[in-house]
Structure 1
């Protein structure tokens, strides 16, 4: 079973998904000049097909908040199960899609090209309604603020609010958060932020699953330098520049670095992973420094530190899974995150996975994640490894 899941996910990741197009009306993703008054308020919605998951799909545009506290429009898709619905909601945070608008889950699910379909389909088959955010700038105008802690956490929490305001589930529906990789970071961030940012969601929240969390972006960037997935650094640089334009990220780059920014803005993850294997950051910077060296300097250092996950204890149980041989997100940073959460009194189940690679970790994490979510919704105690 694990081998089949790994093969499926790997094949989907390496498919040139950037070529896919989902039918959509012109202007759906364009926000109005004035946004509604509350986070999670629905701006517009429309039904969409979902050829690879058993669901009734609704594409949605809703209000959320960026990293600076400004109101923004975020898109996503709400998936209601064809199986008998159990009245429970999962706000699902997808892993890295890319940063071109065509990579957005609300476009990929209708196109049948979303690589997260295997896990999401399992949730739907169990009767859960699933709200999937596109995150800031992925679908909507502007550049996606890739792996930005606040923007992603807000988008996940507000997707849960939007699903309830659509009537997809009752307002008081028991809710959980789930995600892996970039989605693991968004899920973990949402669990940390829920009590302060979305107390209404917190009151219904039963738990969170967070797999392979990029909890320390500086460490992740250093680890990726020169590795097969090094092109993902282009997403991070674009996202950092979008969230913090005052830092003028392009000024730190040479012509090759600026070209990487421009190229990756038009790519989905399958394109990027294949195109830039072994990319080394000193070949991208204006002064030949590594990106790690640049990010260690102010004013970059403090902004990178703001992305750290593990500084706020979630108030619901959290399952963290991570491959001990992850080739994209270093295992030790999640071990550190868990230790920090435990020291602050959080209830954490940490499950190191004895499998190689980031993709295999995603597949191996499916069964324990499903079991954890089912236990939390049923009100059963879950193991705590603190």
Structure 2
């Protein structure tokens, strides 16, 4: 996007100066190689850190300075991104100009308290907060089982193995091994060894951002981002039975396309035609025409080099549904779709990008993804615009079915 300033000191910065919003939004991201051994500690860590600091050692005390800064908000969380585990701290404050005082610099100092001076004693986080957040984390992990769509996707990814098989929150068994001391060890490793990226959207200047985040410049390391390589997988199928009314059919296709390439942008057109939008082949043919699914859609993950399909079906229709899904892909591979649908798909992708300017959070999400891709927003839109029927057919032909998981229930 025009206007984004990217520069590096010890940390890597992406700044979008704009007076369009009433708030300034900052995101500090810590990235480390994804590991089953560290996932449970790292997934819990941000929830513990955001609750208290050394200067504000309780949840109630920590909320007070946020309220004094015109109800500034601070959120933390963790997720898997390709081969990395990413911990993020997001700060949102009112625009300085609206209140006539330097709210941003004061809020960033509070964020520094969270990052540099956490609530620890004798090499361990406060046990009471750790215990409380562990209970909540247990509920998050258990909720995956209750959400059958998420459960089916997790089981599918376990079939695929590697980084995909690692649950983003860890397992209950791994969570049971987390202690206040192991959390502190995860914190010190994060502070010393993670790659740190800073994103800012708001009425700011580059110099203002650099000065505000100067205390964090001693943190982290210049960790090089690792990209998943193509994996030679054998086809796998797993079917399980539970007492559910609606069966969940999930399919995984390899799309071994470099996530940094133009083809990865063009794959978004492929996905849009296949199952990404309400006018796509899966929705129109599997759901609407054949009435085989309660929902049917696809999602492309460039970093994982995978395309996923998911459908809610009657168990009796599984075989027929699988065949019609395969037929839709075969049509794309043969270039069998009309020009109007191709242009409609491009327009939907254009619209998604135009909307980025309406939300600081969406802008930051795009900026963090653009660190992977060597294209500006305008260049991405140009790539989409010149994507042809032949491009779609060629890219679709690289998509190979590698795993099917079906969680079978009764009829609806």
For the criterion TM > 0.5, the same-fold answer is: no
> Rg: which structure is higher?
2
Of structures 1 and 2, the one with the larger relative CO (CA 8 A, separation 6+) is 2
Q: Higher helix proportion, which one? A: 2
Q: Higher strand proportion, which one? A: 2
Q: TM-score scaled by structure 2?
A: 0.27
Q: TM-score scaled by structure 1?
A: 0.28
